[in-house]
Amino acid sequence: SGLMLNRIHQYSALIIFLFLCMHLSNHLLAVFGPETHILWMERFRVVYRSLVFEVVLLAAVMVQIASGIFFIFRSWGQRETIDQRLQAWAGLYLVFFFTAHLIDVLQSRMSFAMDTNFWFIAAMHQAAAVPLLNLLFYFLAVVAVFVHIACGLYWSLSGMPDVRLRRNLSIGVGVLGVLFATMIVLAVGGYLYPVDLPPRYQGVF
């Protein structure tokens, strides 16, 4: 039972990982401007906005949230090493972020028929009471994704004889996450170039 749930958790994580490769690289391309972001978003959406992929992705997210919470609290007292604790905290933050983000995106698409593109993200940040806190919310989510992956990588390479290489590879993934997160929030926050919202996105939040 526990082994089967662990396998399901891993398979759903692979589906989400495929989506995040497209989604985060798309956000990173925002450093070159909104037009570049939207151009590549439309290309990636051919894959992840297909009905089959969306249904599978939504199911995978639900499975990750439910199974992740189960695993975290089942073994909370047994997590003694730094990587085990980091993975648990990163997982908890991602549960919170995925839930909030999914509600925002679905509500905007279904209730307001709004395209959740670069301008949607920028509008949310500009309308936030404390924009820096909103950017921090996104920043920590991106970092949490990479930290969660880094800890999983550290575990999966437990048979590697070179412990230093194993540790450095994991740390490298975490550092890459910080760089990704920094560039993304600088772009959508308007710190790399002026972000003038189109009329459609002004005053919607």
pLDDT in tens, 104-145: 888 888 877 888 899 988 988 888 888 889 899 999 999 999
How far apart CA 201 and CA 205 sit, in angstroms, is 8
Give pTM, 2 decimals.
0.89
What pLDDT does 44 receive? Answer: 95
Return left, alpha or beta for 185; rule: phi > 0 is left, psi -120 to 50 is alpha, else beta. alpha
Instruction: List pLDDT tens digits, range 144-182.
Output: 999 999 988 888 887 778 888 888 999 999 999 999 999
Per-residue pLDDT at 192 exceeds 90: yes
End-to-end Cα separation, the chain, in angstroms = 44
Instruction: Calculate helix-pair angle for 131-156, 163-188, nearest 10 degrees.
Output: 160
Over its C-alpha atoms, the chain yields an Rg (Å, rounded) of 18
Task: Outline where the chain has alpha helix (H).
Answer: 2-28, 34-48, 51-74, 82-111, 118-127, 131-156, 163-188
| pLDDT value for 2 | 65
Please give the C-alpha separations between residue 36 and each of 48, 50, 123, in angstroms, as whole numbers.
18, 21, 18
Residue 30 token pair:
């925002």
Neighbours of 144 (CB within 10 A): 23
- Model confidence at 92: pLDDT above 80: yes
Quickly list DSSP for 18-34: HHHHHHHHHHHGGGG-H
Contact present, 83 and 147 (Cβ < 8 Å): no
Using a pLDDT cut of 70, give the percent of the chain over it: 97
